[in-house]
Structure 1
């Protein structure tokens, strides 16, 4: 979680990515007539707009802006802009494939522009116009704006003066959350009440239509599965081939989301620790339980006596935990976690800060995106605030028993309690009746979106088809498992629906 892992009632479901392709000369773009079938008169000006594409990035990429209503319930109330990037199919295109990398708050434009091969496999690149977009409130679209870099540093990294768990500690964190919320409201030009997944799903239908596609083909990761499922609920007749990878269960309440994720990260941390101990190059010794106890002691030590970084920042236990969580998204990052923990044991926080900064989108003294702001904006509008002391106590006990290493640094004041607008989202099952087969991919030890959520979403959907990737890390497609990749690509390219329950070792 961001801000010291304090918000247990919101979903942590970001995607971490890198791999930047080389730039090359641009080539001209193509256009299709908008699809306006069944569109109401008040929305026609948006659905009939003509896109102005310009070359951007490497060869085959072009970009445009799509104008959308600020308030879909009142289209005349104002407009926002949605940033869209397209990588043109290397062969005759089958149509568009929209993608979303998760978050909420991750940039889809950045994902496709900088990490196309990471986002989708080569077969999809050859046959689809691959589309990335920044959802409303995110990145290059009309964006949520809160703090400058210095204030964001203070919000995300500063260490409370009061002892953890005390009334004064709670008050200090609540005061910080209030200042953040006030800044978001003051600097975001009135868009905060409209930063919701339902509105973003409606934006996605608009993008589909102005691209000229009669149905939506879609690949969504992490939070993008909730966005895709919401689309299928709203527009079942427009749902084409949808793949939802690393699913969020839309029926789980916010408090339970936080608890399930805490247990998921504890499980992933234990898997990492076993791998670390087996490597022969681990800063911990003994059994996994011994090593986890030693890690707990390290976190407690850093909580008492923070470590000073070369840039003057102090590494407390919350920022160290953020770095640990960042590394648990992918097994490829485990060596960096080993390095970070080894250094921290010697009093050096350098690599721990690298991991925490990567998670928070920080580089140098600047923030590369507004993912932290957008993350909070979406979740505070999507998740109803839960104010049941008995339920909160039960969740706290569940986390303490199931995730004892993470528990001390997980819970805290809910930042959404001071958000300036009441949430409009609800939690409930999504069946998407009439949408046709929808692929749901779950990874068995996915810490951010635990496997049980993928099982649940596949069961909820009228024609949900579950694919299981057995392994570690967040999401399952394009991670080197040919069983998963072949099933996804056969579905998206040839409309071949895999057997429900396909298990990919």
Structure 2
């Protein structure tokens, strides 16, 4: 199982099915210092009115999480949709604060990753995970649902809950099985625009604008400088903020970071190679068991896996709910289960169940990762993930997407459906907006204080080397964590990590070179 908390668990490690565009590493332009920037004063001068969180829950998970705590306070932050034209409409962001148990010295802003993860829930999880540290005594923990995400308004919406139950959320992407046309990607874009309500809004949900939103939040919270903990995608956001607002940074903890020097396609190949490593370790652990569904011959485990999952392309497995488990959904569930070694037994059980024509276990994994409630209501986590990445990613031609698919299947053969790479297509090609991002990012930043990057040796989706590169790029400190999972700083599962993060957040003390923690 995933790491447990007394609170309902937010799957904060950005557990994204294979059909999705995984988080990219990008950067944005310097903040605007023209006359348009001075017109933002009404946003920087606003007052947050914290109160009950009763009207802030939009999913079953959020309802249960808010019900489990008594200290959560919520408010709404107003920011411009388009920072170049701040009079052309606004969007409201949902903010949650877990007040310090003592005299607050300021706020720690947290981001759960994705993109698409709820910052509101992450504030509660971080406050719980760090409750035995000085951080929660001396700092309010504040999380915000980024623009387009969860309880913020408007929220990105591309597909109905009923349709998602029937087909899953499969956007054309290089890694998944299937073939698409230009008409397919146009239909996807049109549906996202229609359901969200604004082409202009979708075009403005990229990370540079989220970083600008975070600077407004910093000021409205009364903090001269930002203290921040971000995991997974949150490290991209933190690095983009550092590049745009270096003089406004007090402390940045970047947990589960990606290599800032990689181009979009290169990063995807590297990420899926990391998943292959985790798949191989999971298969190794399985083959030592006498009843392993993949057999006892490690050399045949991959072929055995293909023999079990590839038939789902033509004949999906059944579930008691009447929903089907097709190939792409099954692969997505397996990927989600590879994020932490504690979830591997559930993956093995789900694969074994497929041999009986049933998909209950993998469907439960998939639903949990995608935050689908028992009431049939899905969060917009997956939709937001795709659209935000579309606004950040370098868009590719069909030929480039086919080449990318071939590279991914070569590096991660457990994903290979045994079909041609033809028909791969960039699901972002018809989306509105022109990315303002460039690669590499966060380079040669001046006046940036010491930062802390945390990288786990067995991280399946943000490989260890990427964190090393980011720490060097920012000229900051690196904490190496030995283990098999994705992110660790806010979960409260490592006293060693908690102590180092606390020393940094409280006293701005960074660990010595070569500092290492070991996960149990």
Scaled to the shorter chain, the TM-score interval is 0.7 to 0.9
Deviations 1:294-314 (A, max 9, x none): 112211222242212222222
Q: Structure 1 residue 2: deviation in Å?
A: 9.6
Q: Does 1:43 align with 2:40?
A: yes
CA distance in 1, matches of 2:16, 2:505: 38
Contact 2:161 2:376 survives alignment (8 Å): yes
Q: Structure 1 residue 362: deviation in Å?
A: 1.8
Contact 2:133 2:502 survives alignment (8 Å): no
CA distance in 2, matches of 1:192, 1:151: 21
Q: Structure 1 residue 141: deviation in Å?
A: 1.0
Q: Does 1:180 align with 2:188?
A: yes
Q: Does 1:216 align with 2:226?
A: yes
Q: Structure 1 residue 502: deviation in Å?
A: 2.0
CA distance in 2, matches of 1:306, 1:258: 27
Q: List aligned pairs for 1:104-253, cutoff 5 A.
A: 104-113=115-124, 116-118=127-129, 122-142=133-153, 143-156=155-168, 169-171=178-180, 175-190=183-198, 191-253=201-263
Aligned partner of 1:102 among 103, 113, 117: 113
TM-score (normalised: structure 1) = 0.86
Q: Structure 1 residue 357: deviation in Å?
A: 1.4
CA distance in 1, matches of 2:40, 2:169: 44
Aligned partner of 1:337 among 338, 347, 357: 347
> Could you say if the C-alpha distance between residues 466 and 204 of structure 1 is closer, same or farther in structure 2, counting changes exceeding 3 Å?
same
Contact 1:3 1:157 survives alignment (8 Å): no
Q: Structure 1 residue 288: deviation in Å?
A: 2.9
CA distance in 2, matches of 1:353, 1:277: 23
Aligned partner of 1:77 among 61, 64, 88: 88
Q: List aligned pairs for 1:290-305, cutoff 5 A.
A: 290-305=300-315
Contact 2:148 2:156 survives alignment (8 Å): yes
CA distance in 2, matches of 1:120, 1:385: 42
Q: Does 1:360 align with 2:390?
A: no
Q: List aligned pairs for 1:312-461, cutoff 5 A.
A: 312-364=322-374, 366-387=376-397, 389=399, 395-408=404-417, 412-431=424-443, 432-461=445-474
Q: Does 1:309 align with 2:319?
A: yes
Q: List aligned pairs for 1:26-65, cutoff 5 A.
A: 40-56=37-53, 57=66, 58-65=69-76
CA distance in 1, matches of 2:434, 2:300: 45
Aligned Cα root-mean-square deviation (Å): 2.8
Q: Structure 1 residue 118: deviation in Å?
A: 4.2
SS in 2 for 1:63: strand
Higher-RCO chain (CA-CA 8 Å, sequence separation at least 6): 2
Q: Does 1:464 align with 2:476?
A: yes
Q: Structure 1 residue 397: deviation in Å?
A: 4.3
> Could you say if the C-alpha distance between residues 281 and 485 of structure 1 is closer, same or farther in structure 2, counting changes exceeding 3 Å?
farther
Contact 2:79 2:90 survives alignment (8 Å): yes
> Could you say if the C-alpha distance between residues 93 and 479 of structure 1 is closer, same or farther in structure 2, counting changes exceeding 3 Å?
closer
Q: Which residue of 2 aligns with 1:273?
A: 283
> Could you say if the C-alpha distance between residues 220 and 48 of structure 1 is closer, same or farther in structure 2, counting changes exceeding 3 Å?
same
CA distance in 1, matches of 2:73, 2:389: 31
Contact 2:396 2:426 survives alignment (8 Å): no
CA distance in 2, matches of 1:273, 1:321: 15
Q: Structure 1 residue 203: deviation in Å?
A: 0.5
Deviations 1:115-171 (A, max 9, x none): 7424776442222100011001111112212222123334526899xxx97xxx523
Query: Which is worse superposed, 277-286 or 303-312?
Result: 277-286
Query: Which is worse superposed, 241-250 or 421-430?
Result: 421-430
CA distance in 2, matches of 1:473, 1:451: 11
TM-score (normalised: structure 2) = 0.84
CA distance in 2, matches of 1:409, 1:91: 59
Contact 1:6 1:409 survives alignment (8 Å): no
SS in 2 for 1:204: helix
Q: Does 1:490 align with 2:503?
A: yes
Contact 2:480 2:515 survives alignment (8 Å): yes
> Could you say if the C-alpha distance between residues 182 and 392 of structure 1 is closer, same or farther in structure 2, counting changes exceeding 3 Å?
closer
> Could you say if the C-alpha distance between residues 3 and 435 of structure 1 is closer, same or farther in structure 2, counting changes exceeding 3 Å?
closer
CA distance in 1, matches of 2:131, 2:112: 11
Contact 2:20 2:386 survives alignment (8 Å): no
CA distance in 2, matches of 1:119, 1:297: 44
CA distance in 2, matches of 1:325, 1:301: 18
CA distance in 1, matches of 2:224, 2:306: 54
Contact 2:24 2:392 survives alignment (8 Å): no
Aligned partner of 1:90 among 78, 101, 110: 101
Query: Which is worse superposed, 132-141 or 323-332?
Result: 323-332
> Could you say if the C-alpha distance between residues 280 and 99 of structure 1 is closer, same or farther in structure 2, counting changes exceeding 3 Å?
farther
Q: Structure 1 residue 394: deviation in Å?
A: 5.3
SS in 1 for 2:417: helix
Contact 1:159 1:316 survives alignment (8 Å): no
> Could you say if the C-alpha distance between residues 159 and 223 of structure 1 is closer, same or farther in structure 2, counting changes exceeding 3 Å?
closer
CA distance in 2, matches of 1:398, 1:501: 34
Q: Which 5+ residue runs of structure 1 have no aligned equivalent? A: 14-37
